[in-house]
A and B are shown apart, each in its own frame.
Chain A
Amino acid sequence: MSRIEHVIPLIKQKTIRALLEKGERLDGRKPMDFRDVEINVGVIDSAEGSAIVNLGNTMVIAGVKLGMASPFPDSPNSGALIVNAELIPLASPLFEYGPPKEEDIEISRVVDRGIRSSKLIDLEKLVIVTGRKVWFVYVDLYALNHDGNLLDACMLAAVSALLTARKPKTRIEGDHIEILDEKEPIPIGNTAISITFAKIGEYVVVDPTYEEELAMDARLTICYDKEGRIVAIQKGGSGYFTSEEVIDLGKKGLEISRKLISKLPTPLSE
Chain B
Amino acid sequence: MKSKLKLIDESGRRIDGRLLDELRPLRFEVGILKNADGSAYIEQGGNKIAVAVYGPREVHPRHQARPDRALLRTKYRMATFSVKDRKSPTPGRREIEISKVIREALEPALLLEKFPRTAIDVFIEVLQADGGTRCASISAAALALADAGIPMRDLVTAVAVGKVDGRIVLDLNHLEDQYGEGDMPVAMMPSLNAITLLQCDGTFTLEEFKEALELAKKGIGVIYEKQREALRSKYLDALKTYRVI
Bound-complex Cα distance A216 to B209 (A):
25
Interface residues of A in 197-238 (CB under 8 A from B): 218, 220, 225, 228-238
Please give the distance in Å from B155's CB to the nearest CB on chain A: 14
**With A78-B1, A106-B97, A124-B1 given, is the CB distance from A229 to B196 under 8 Å?**
no
Chain A: interface residue count, which band?
35 or more
Bound-complex Cα distance A113 to B182 (A):
11
Tell me if B203 and A229 are in contact (CB < 8 A): yes
**With A78-B1, A240-B194 given, is the CB distance from A230 to B209 under 8 Å?**
yes
Cβ contact of A232, chosen from B101, B107, B200, cutoff 8 A:
B200
> Which A-chain residue is minimally distant from B189 (CB atoms)?
A240
Total contacting residues, chain B, CB less than 8 A? 34
With a cutoff of 8 Å between Cβ atoms, the chain B residues found around residue A108 in the complex are 93
**With A78-B1, A230-B206, A247-B209 given, is the CB distance from A109 to B94 under 8 Å?**
yes
With a cutoff of 8 Å between Cβ atoms, the chain A residues found around residue B203 in the complex are 117-118, 225, 229-231
Interface residues of B in 13-34 (CB under 8 A from A): none
With a cutoff of 8 Å between Cβ atoms, the chain B residues found around residue A118 in the complex are 203
Most B CB within 10 A of own CB, among A100, A108, A232, A254: A232
> Which B-chain residue is minimally distant from A230 (CB atoms)?
B204
Q: Mark B163-200, 1 if CB is under 8 A from A, else 0.
A: 00000000000000000001010000100111111111
Cβ contact of A241, chosen from B63, B99, B198, cutoff 8 A:
B198
> Which B-chain residue is minimally distant from A114 (CB atoms)?
B201
Tell me if B108 and A240 are in contact (CB < 8 A): yes
Tell me if A106 and B209 are in contact (CB < 8 A): no
Q: Give the A-B pair count, Cβ closer than 8 A.
A: 99
Does A148 sit at the interface, judged by CB under 8 A? no
Bound-complex Cα distance A179 to B119 (A):
55
Does B48 sit at the interface, judged by CB under 8 A? no
Bound-complex Cα distance A231 to B200 (A):
7
Q: Mark B65-101, 1 if CB is under 8 A from A, else 0.
A: 0000000000000000000000000000110110111
Please give the distance in Å from A2's CB to the nearest CB on chain B: 13
With a cutoff of 8 Å between Cβ atoms, the chain B residues found around residue A102 in the complex are 96-97, 99-100
Please give the distance in Å from B88's CB to the nearest CB on chain A: 15
Cβ contact of A117, chosen from B104, B193, B201, B206, cutoff 8 A:
B201
Does A149 sit at the interface, judged by CB under 8 A? no
**With A102-B99, A220-B198 given, is the CB distance from A242 to B206 under 8 Å?**
no
> Which A-chain residue is minimally distant from B206 (CB atoms)?
A250
Cβ contact of A235, chosen from B101, B182, B209, B217, cutoff 8 A:
B101
> Which A-chain residue is minimally distant from B112 (CB atoms)?
A238
Bound-complex Cα distance A105 to B104 (A):
15
Interface residues of A (CB under 8 A from B): 3, 75, 77-78, 100, 102, 105-106, 108-109, 113, 116-118, 124, 218, 220, 225, 228-243, 246-247, 250-251, 254
